[in-house]
Every structure is written in structure tokens, then in C-alpha cells.
Structure 1
Amino acid sequence: MGERDRHRELVGPAPQGEARRLTRELRAAIEEVRSAVLVLAARVRAAHQARVWAALGYSGWAAYAGAEFGVSRSTAYRLLDLAAAAEAIEDVVARQVGPELSHAWDTGLVLPVRAVVDLKGRIAELADLIAERLADAQAEAGGAPLEPGRVGEVVAGAVAELRERPDVPVAELAVAGGPDGYDAEAWRRHVTAGRPLVAEQQQNDRALGEIALRLAPAHLSDRSALPVLAVYADFVGEDPELFLACRRYLITGDWRAVEDDYRGRQARDLLARHGEEQ
């Protein structure tokens, strides 16, 4: 009798002994999957670093993976992303809590396909966040060693936290820097908090542009559209120039029609008036 047939015969509730046996088998299967993903990640990275496709006569990694394993181009590159993420997590966990716990996280829960896609290009940021959260967990434990389950929770939580954050690349912050008096982490928090607000502003400008286009269709010039928009703006208590700018945004698809032409001009006018008052 095969493994599948043996389990198909069991109709619950099972006796306690049988339930414990099935639980042990399930635990072992989960561990095998976890180990298999980590082995896969390590072997993908080793094969890519060795440029195996060149030795076998393929034009590149995607062509090699498609011919040898029957996977699509996107899957071939997603394997590389998985390998990079898994390696980074293993390394940071090993450094922070010890190599014996480097595998103490559930790859199936922590790195599903969607997570791998979301984390692409953010591996360094992920490693920093995991290290920070593990340090917090160690402090909460009063210096006592972390249990494997706790390590897994921390890693999963860090991955979920990063996936919810807007993407603020480390390189971007390093180049832009922050004002004097702000450390890097504080500046990152402020930028992260501000990004969703800017995205919301862009959505609002788009909604205003849609209203403006219904009132003054795209075939009208700005000169012809402005009187109609001025009447509407007076009713809703807004500057007609804003509606005109949002209308240009919808027509061109370029948000700079609002941010640079309208708000930028307002800011420059404000600074000019402030300079005159000095």
C-alpha cells in the first residue's frame, strides 16, 4: 500500500497515537520542504555564479533554465531573487543569533512567490531590518537565547513589515542625505511616512483632473477651459489654476503639470514675497 493510499484510509477522529504519528510525519515533511527551499536557493546561486549556461552553450541564464528545467524566463529570474533573499536571511540570522538557528524560519511562509517579487532590490534593507528586530527580541528576552520559533516569528514579521513599507531605496537616502541633526534611521522613518501621503496627493490630483476634463474636454485650450473651471472652483472653494493644472496632468500623464507648474510656482511666489518683506 502506498503512502497516499495509507493516509486516504484514515477518517477522523483518529486515535491519539495515530494523531501523534501523523503530526510527526507532517512536521518532518515541513522540515523537508524548508530544507529543500534553502538547498534550492544555495544551488541556484552557485550555478549562476559559475555561469553554467556558458559552459553548456546557452545564451544566458533564462535560456539555460528554460531548456534544462522547463521554467519560464520570469521563473528563472525569480529563482535568483529567491536565492538572494534566502541567503541574506540566513546570513543575518547566523550573525545575530548564531549559525545553529540560521534555518529557524519557515521559507514557505516567509518567502512565498509574492514576497520574493516585493522584496526584489531591497535585500540589504531587509537584512538590516531583520538584524534590528532580532536585537529587539534579544533585549526583550533579557539576554536569554531565542527559541527557534521566536526567531521564525521575528523573521516573518520583518518580511511582512518591509513589504508594507513604500520602497525607499537605501542608495537614494544615502545620496540625498537628511538635514543636519537627523540620524539615518529617523530620516528613513520620516521619508517612509511621507511617501504614502504624496501618493495620496497624486491620486487626489488625478481625481480633480478627471472632474476638470468632464467639465472642460481635452480639445479645449487652457484659455477656453479656464472660465468654466473658474466657475466650478468658486463653488467648491479652490483655486481654478489647480483644476487647470490637474486637467493638464490627466491629458499629459505627467504629474509635473501640477507639482512643478502649479505648486512649484506657488512656492516660488511665496518665497519671492517673503524676500520682499525682509
Structure 2
Amino acid sequence: MVDLITTRLTAAADQPLPPDAVRALVHQAVTDARHLPTTAAQRALPATTDPHITEMRRQVDRLEALAGDIGRLMLEIAPAYLTDSQAARRLGIFAAEIGLTLEEALADRRYAISGDRRALVGIVL
């Protein structure tokens, strides 16, 4: 992640950067880094010609993307510095309003914080 942020700041360094620009560059670099697969081996799945399996994989990827979007929304309501217990107090009513259980909302929030798909296993995926 340090390399990604350094590269972006170096590319923009031909002029002094105001704090808001640095904040935006770091925020985007962190967001991009969270969505990188950890290793090719962890993301690689056996090849298949079965259209049902291919479609299921596509749906799982779609659920993962949606969980990330919902998780970022949950972080707007309950920032990452809050514990799960503190976040639960803030998210309970909102989660119910949008049709999620509190457990699903917290899992999506953890996924948005970590970028680790395992945060969703057994709850969302």
C-alpha cells in the first residue's frame, strides 16, 4: 500500500498539493488497495465449462461487490474506529429499514474495512 500511495503522490508532485488533495489521493489508494486480490492462488478457481457454476461464480462476485458498497455506506453511519458493539447501536435501525439483519450490516462493514472476503463467509456469501 505504501508503494501505491508513494506512486500516486510522486505523480502529482510537480506542484505543491493542498491537504484536501493529499487526503483524496490517499483515500483512493487505500480503496484501490482493498480491492486487490491478496494472491492469485487465493482468487484462482478451477476452470469449468458448466454454465451453472459459471453463473453462480458471477453471482457471488456480484454479491461481494454489493456487500462492499453497502459496507461503505455502513462506515458513513458507523466509522471504522467504533467497535462492533458501538456500531451495532448506530446500525440496528438503519439495517432493518433497508432489509438487512444487524449481523449482515456488521459483516458488510467489516468487509469494507478489511477488503477480506472472509468477512462475508457464512453471513452474506
Same fold? TM cut 0.5: yes
Gaps of 5+ in 2: 1-43
- Tell me the alpha carbon deviations over residues 198-245 of structure 1, each in whole angstroms, 9 at most, x when there is no partner: 111111100110011000000000010001110101222221111101
1: CA distance between counterparts of 2:124 and 2:72?
A: 19
CA shift digits 1:12-53 (9 cap, x unpaired)? xxxxxxxxxxxxxxxxxxxxxxxxxxxxxxxxxxxxxxxxxx
Superposed CA offset, 1:131-155 (max 9, x none): xxxxxxxxxxxxxxxxxxxxxxxxx
1:190 aligns with 2:52: yes
Q: Which amino acid aligns with 1:257?
A: A
In 1, Cα distance between equivalents of 2:72 and 2:124: 19
Residues 191, 236 of structure 1: alpha-carbon distance in 2 compared, 3 angstrom cutoff = same
Aligned partner of 1:202 in structure 2 is 64
Q: For 2:87, which of 225, 229, 236 is the aligned residue?
A: 225
2-structure distance, mates of 1:168, 1:223: 36
Gaps of 5+ in 1: 1-166, 174-184, 265-278
Counterpart position of 2:110 = 248
SS at 2:121 equivalent: helix
Query: What do you get for the CA RMSD once the two structures are aligned?
Result: 2.0
Question: Quick one: higher RCO (CA 8 Å, sep 6+), 1 or 2?
Answer: 2
Specify the code of the residue in structure 2 equivalent to 1:206. Answer: G
Q: How does 1:153-172 map to 2 (within 5 A)?
A: 169-170=46-47
- Residue 212 to residue 168, structure 1, CA distance change in 2 (3 Å): same
Counterpart residue type for residue 106 of structure 2? L
Q: 1:263 to 1:207 in 2, by over 3 A?
A: closer
Quick one: percent identity of the two aligned structures? 33
In structure 2, relative to structure 1, the CA distance for the partners of 1:207 and 1:263 (3 Å cut) is closer
Partner letter of residue 203 of structure 1?
A
Does the CA-based 8 Å contact 1:168-1:191 persist in structure 2? no
Letter in 1 for 2:58: P
8 Å CA contact 2:107–2:124 kept in 1: the answer is no
Matches within 5 A, 1:92-131: none
Q: What's the counterpart of residue 25 of structure 1?
A: none
More helix by share: 1
- The 2-side partners of 1:189 and 1:246 are apart by 28
Distance in 2 (CA, whole Å) between partners of 1:192 and 1:208 is 24
Distance 1:192 1:237, change over 3 A: closer
Cα distance in structure 2, aligned partners of 1:195 and 1:237: 24
Show structure 1 runs of 4+ deviating over 4 A. none
Supply the AA of the counterpart residue of 2:62: E
